[in-house]
Amino acid sequence: MDSLEQVLSGTTVATAFQQWFDQDTTAIVTGGAGEIGNAIVRLLGSFGVRLAIFDRDPAKLEQTYELLKGEGLKAEYRLCDVTNENELTESVSYVVEKLGVPSILINNAGITRDARYNNISSEAWSAVLKTNLDSAFYCTKVIAPHMERLRRGRIINISSRAILGTPGQANYAASKAGLIGLTRVLALELASKGITVNAVAPGWIDTRMTRNVVPESAERAINQIPLKRAGTPQEVANVVCFLSSNWASYITGQTIFVCGGRSVGLVSV
């Protein structure tokens, strides 16, 4: 059997993976200081992508930035409320000046305010929809025109397996389902500009949020996963990185579940 190097027509594995991204590629990652966002920026940075991290948590932003800088990665960060279009526009202008025109946008900002439907306040409903869904629209509206001028771009929206139905998450599931619809429409509208738009829908991922779930509920959730374990932020980042790369140039309008098979249905064996 031919070696991988031979299959790649003599190019080395390292060279092949360098071709995942063009030189001087800049990515904006919202919610980049969270656990999944952190995994995404570190992986993109390892491929030489210049990183712009947007988040509302100043302590986590600083911590993430110092981590990236310690790893020798090119990064900038902005304390930014991505639900505020004016603030977002200012932050994007800063990124263009410091790092160059962004050709990758990862809409990862998200929050939860879980409760049964009759206990969800108007504030909790609006906050979740605004952060999880509205921000992705605003970010695309501000950043996609820059990509259009480049005639290339990748937009990845972080949705959730919760769109298939999770009791106690009516607001969260609605916001993440909205992202799927937004993804499909944007994929059609931006295709002629050389921009692909896809969604990634994580399932039960080992983050602070799932670690705070009571053990009985966590055990029940994991038992419903065919692979019988939680996923990791790195496993989500792997898919996001691929969809952001040149190797995913013919994929658009799709939703990729990263859920250990949980999206297939309930496990009965």
Write out the DSSP string of 121-153. -HHHHHHHHIIIIIHHHHHHHHHHHHHHHHT-E
In a domain, 202, yes or no: yes
In a domain, 224, yes or no: no
For residue 128, what are its two tokens? 């979740």
Query: 53 has which bridge partners?
Result: 29, 77
H or E element, residue 36? helix 35-46
The pLDDT, as a whole number, for residue 17 is: 55
In a domain, 6, yes or no: no
The pLDDT, as a whole number, for residue 4 is: 42
- DSSP 3-state of 54: strand
Query: 199 has which bridge partners?
Result: 157, 255
* CB contact at 8 A, 128 and 171: yes
In a domain, 109, yes or no: yes
d(CA 112, CA 73): 31
Indicate the number of domains in the chain: 1
Rounded average pLDDT per 10-residue block, the chain, 269 residues? 46 60 94 95 96 95 93 94 94 96 97 91 96 97 97 97 91 97 98 98 90 80 92 97 97 97 75
In a domain, 199, yes or no: yes
d(CA 139, CA 179): 13
Q: What CATH number corresponds to the domain at position 173?
A: 3.40.50.720
d(CA 134, CA 128): 9
Catalytic residue among 65, 77, 138, 172: 172
Place of tokens 């390292």: 14
- DSSP 3-state of 192: helix
For residue range 107-143, list pLDDT tens digits in order. 999 998 989 999 999 999 999 999 999 999 999 999 9
The reported pTM is 0.91
In a domain, 260, yes or no: no
d(CA 33, CA 43): 13
In a domain, 52, yes or no: yes
The pLDDT, as a whole number, for residue 11 is: 53
Q: Examine the residue annotation and report whether 250 is marked as an active-site residue of this protein.
A: no
For residue range 150-188, list pLDDT tens digits in order. 999 999 999 999 999 888 899 999 999 999 999 999 999
In a domain, 9, yes or no: no
Segments forming the whole domain that contains residue 160 = 22-206+234-254
d(CA 269, CA 227): 12
Contacts of 114 (CB under 8 A, 6+ apart): 168, 169, 172
The pLDDT, as a whole number, for residue 85 is: 92
The pLDDT, as a whole number, for residue 41 is: 97
The pLDDT, as a whole number, for residue 77 is: 94
d(CA 227, CA 256): 17
